[in-house]
Structures are given as C-alpha cells and as structure tokens.
Amino acid sequence: MSTRAALPIVGQCEVLLPDAEHRRLSQLAQRILKHEPGLPLCEAFGRGVASGLDDGPALLFEDHSEITLFSCPEDETLQYRSLLLADDDDLVLIRTRRNLAFERYCCETLALGNAEVMVLPSDSTRPPLPLHGADHADTFRTIVNVARRQGRLTIIPYIGTESAWRLAGQIAAASGAQISMAAPPPTLTQRVNNKLWFARRVTEVLGHDARPPSYQASGPAAVAVRVAALARRTDRVVVKIPDSAGSAGNLVLESAAVRALPLHELQGQILGLLESLGWRSHFPLLVSVWDCAVLSSPSVQLWVPLLEEGLPVVEGLFDQIVRGDQSEFIGATPCDLPPPLCRRLATEATQLALLFQHLGYFGRCSFDAIISGTDVRSASLRWVECNGRWGGTSVPMTLANRLLGDWTRRSVMVVQRGGLKHRGWDLPAALDRLGPLVYRRGGDGTGAIVLTPGRLEEGCGLHLLLMGHTLPDVERLRSDVEAAFAGTASGVIREWRPFERTEKSPPGVGKFDSGKIEHNAGA
C-alpha cells in the first residue's frame, strides 16, 4: 500500500469478508457505474494526474468553498489543520492570517517537520482554487518549481473537489511532473458526501433497516407532505440539505408543533427556516426521522487504498461528542461500546468502503452512525452520513499516530469548540499558562496539543487534542486545562460526556478489539 511518513495508516482490526460478499459488492458497483460511468473518471485533468499517494513532497490545503453552507469566516480557523499532516519539504496553502508562533510550535514542540506555509490573498468574492491570475502567480510558480525538480508531487486536499483536481491538472501541465491526488475523483467525491446518494448505497449494501426512515423531496410541497407524514409517527423530523457538511444543513422539527399546522403553512415555515440556514432553494432535500433515544453517535475512520493495493483499513472507532438540536460536532473520544457492537460497526463500514473502492474511491473516509434505543445490547444501528474527506476526528487521529506510532497507546480526546466567549490568548501565552500540561515530543506521550490557534487567540473557542495514559487521566487533563483558563472559558469542557450506559458495563467494554473480524451475515 502506498504511504508517506506524515500520513501513517495504522489499522486497528482486519475485517474478513467472504468471497461471495466481495463478488456481490463488485457487481453492485458495476451496476452503479453502468448508470453513472463518470464516477471514477479523472482523465479530463490530464494524463499526469491520478488518485494515489507518493512519498515525495506534498501540497496540502483545506478549502471549504465548494461545500454548501460550510464556508464562513469561522471556518478559516480550521485551515491550519493541514499543517498537522505536513512534513519537511511540503507546501501548505492557507487563506487566513499567518501564525508564525503556531508554525514554530508544530515544527519545534511537536517536531512535525519544517513545511513551507504560503498565504493566498483573501477574496470573499471567489473561491481560492484553482490558482490563477496575477495575485496567485508567485504561489503557483513555487509549487510548479517543486514539482518540476522532483518530477512528482502529491496533493493532499481536505476534500477532492473539482477545483482541487483542476489545480492538479494545472500543475501537471506546467511542470511535466506526475501528480498524485490523495482523494477520490471529483464526481465520486461529490456523490459520497451527498446524504441522499449515501442513503441509497446503505440500503443496497446493508438493507432498509440500516438507515433511518428517509425520503427524497424534490419540491416545496413534497417537503411539507413528507414532514407531515413522518411527524405522525415520530417525535422529531429532520430536513437535511444533502450536500452540506456535518450539522450545518440540518433543520430539526418538533413533531408536536408540526402536526398542528396545515400543509401550506408548514411548507412556508420549513422553507423560511431553511433559508435562514443559508439554503438557496436547491432541491432535492432529504426528509428523515430524527432519533431521540440516542445512546451513541459513533464514527468509523477508514483509509481506502487503491483497489489493487488491498482492502479498506479500519483505523479507529470513535464516539462523537455532539451538542444542540442539530447535533453539532464538538469533539470525540475512543468508542466505548460493547465489543460485538464495535465489530458490527467495523464490518458494516468496511462493506460500504469496499463498494466505494470498487467505484474508484481512494483516500480518507469516515462513516457516521446512530446507536439508539433503551438498552445498548438491543439498540438499533443506523448509518446516517459519509464524510468522504478529512475531518475533525481523522486529522487528530492521524496526528496521534504520527506522535505515538499508534493512537491506541494512549487514551485520547478531541476538543473542537466554537461559538464561545472568553479572553483571547496568543499561542505563546496560552502554552505558558498550560505549562506542564502541554504535550512535548520526547516526553511520556501525554498532554494537551493545540490543533489550530485561531479560536483560542480570538477568544471564541478551543481546538485541542488531549492525550493521557488512561481515560481518567484524560478526564483529569481536561479539568486541569479548564482550570488553567478559569475565568476566561469556565465550563466550556465540563459539560461533555461520552455516552453513558443504561446498565452496568460488562467486563472488557470500552476497549476496541484489535485483530481479525470474521464477517457474519446475520450480524
């Protein structure tokens, strides 16, 4: 399997699927490709561009501009995540104020290497990619020169959009180098991140019960009818903008309020609320049941290699920490579910990833699920979303692998909080205040790591990776970090809790079983 040092792929279990399942998923992929043959294609970007991963220099960037509702000023604070995946001689593009203190922190304290950070001019009237025009000429020339000297370049985008692929084609044409894209082809990228498309694939691979009751609504009247119908048999209904990311495009409705409205009034209220989220009247929409008795919101983190290089790799199972009616992601901890349920999560995620692999998928991928019911042993498992891109769990997980060799050597917690109000701390002052709580390379592998500096410095949130020997150690570290900022961000972490069981946990629960997992069709 092709890898590079700064992107260690560390499998946590091997899911063994029977030959018949491999054949079934391959045949399903062929049927899908028959209807949409352009899914795996990237020839339009030039013969020197293809999905893959090289061990030479890389260009990394995080661009949200083509994700519906996900591009806003606060997102700029996340652009420095790419630096956490970079190594010596790599190039990192950002479109925000440069932070030299954070760059020194990554290079010296974390010892991640000395990458070159390049700032693109900020222009809200257009997306930052591809690089063209006089304002980008020097940046583009630098990238081309690196590619030409090495004869190759890997591009590692946050998401494999058409703009990212066009940039790859421009670099290949100008440099004559072979460009490897650590992402799936752009049409396939668009499809896997679309909640309607993903829901159909879940049904085909795992059956109707593997996803919440969901429907496509192709117009205003259809939305109101679908919402009214679901409201008669469930406590909450959600309308989702299918091509948005995470919770940004979720509109959650209380069924009790919906039932009292005539359809024409319900239609008007739904459309008005969607427009307040930033929706611009694009259909279709997804209408679904919103599970209320949620015990856990797990995500399965995978790396999907090229088909000829092996099976998808399950790198981690995490409990997502969410808040609010829209289930906004605010952090993650290692999965704390019974081993049989962990095995089922890993198996079903591998089945979905294997289908994607047969469609031409390559790169980082994760699947989000909901565990709901009154008892974890009899709870239902439903798949709700695919993240065909890097994200809030996969970047810290990969960083932990870089620092530790295997993230499971420590207990970890991801903290990603925005929308807070507290005193702003510049990075050196924040690190000084944390003192011995800060992780340092060469220490015992524990401590707090600043993932991006923007929210901390602007006084609007925290973005951290906490590592300890055990979960109680991480909980104490969380409390100590909170105490260090007492009076400036009091209570911002204390409210977090991973899912809590409704019964006493049996022995062994809370540790994800490594090793091989045999597929069980009845699981």
pLDDT band at 183 (very low <50, low <70, confident <90, very high): very high
Give the pLDDT of residue 134: 57
Which amino acid, one-letter code, is at 403?
Answer: L
**In this structure, what token pair is assigned to residue 325?**
């009616």
Helices 339-359 and 195-206: angle between axes, nearest 10 degrees? 110
- CA dist., res. 189 & res. 500, Å (int): 35
Distance CA 277, CA 153 (A): 38
Domains and CATH numbers, the chain: 42-184 (3.40.50), 213-289 (3.30.1490.20)
Helix H or strand E encompassing 468:
strand 462-468
pLDDT tens string 83-92: 999 999 999 9
Write the CB contacts of 505 (distance below 8 Å, at least 6 apart in sequence). 338
Q: Which of 182, 15, 220, 207 lies closest to 86 in space, CA to CA?
A: 182
pLDDT tens string 317-342: 999 887 665 556 778 999 989 999 99
What pLDDT is stored for residue 126 in this prediction? 54
Q: 13 pairs with which residues across the strands?
A: 314
Count each helix (H run) and each strand (E run) in the chain, helices first. 14, 21
Phi, psi of 310 (to 5 degrees): 130, 180
Tokens of 132: 């063209």
Which of these, 163, 144, 164, 142, lies nearest to 155 by C-alpha position? Answer: 164
Please give the helix or strand (H or E) that residue 296 lies within, else none.
Answer: strand 294-296
Question: 507 exposed, middle or buried (CB, 10 Å; 0-12, 13-18, 19+)?
Answer: exposed
Classified as helix, coil or strand, 268 is helix
Dump pLDDT digits (tens) for 333-383.
Answer: 999 899 999 999 999 999 999 999 999 999 999 999 999 988 888 889 999
Whole-model pTM: value is: 0.90
Residue with tokens 């029977």: 18
What's the Cα-to-Cα distance from 332 to each of 300, 306, 336, rounded to whole Å? 12, 28, 11
Please count the other Cβ atoms lying within 10 Å of the Cβ belonging to residue 383.
24
The torsion angle over the Cα atoms of residues 400, 405, 407 and 413, rounded to 10 degrees, is: -30
Query: Among the listed ranges 16-25, 67-76, 214-223, 376-385, which one has the minimum average pLDDT value?
Result: 67-76
Q: What is the average pLDDT score of the chain? A: 87
Residue in this structure with the two tokens 């979905």, named with its chain if needed: 352
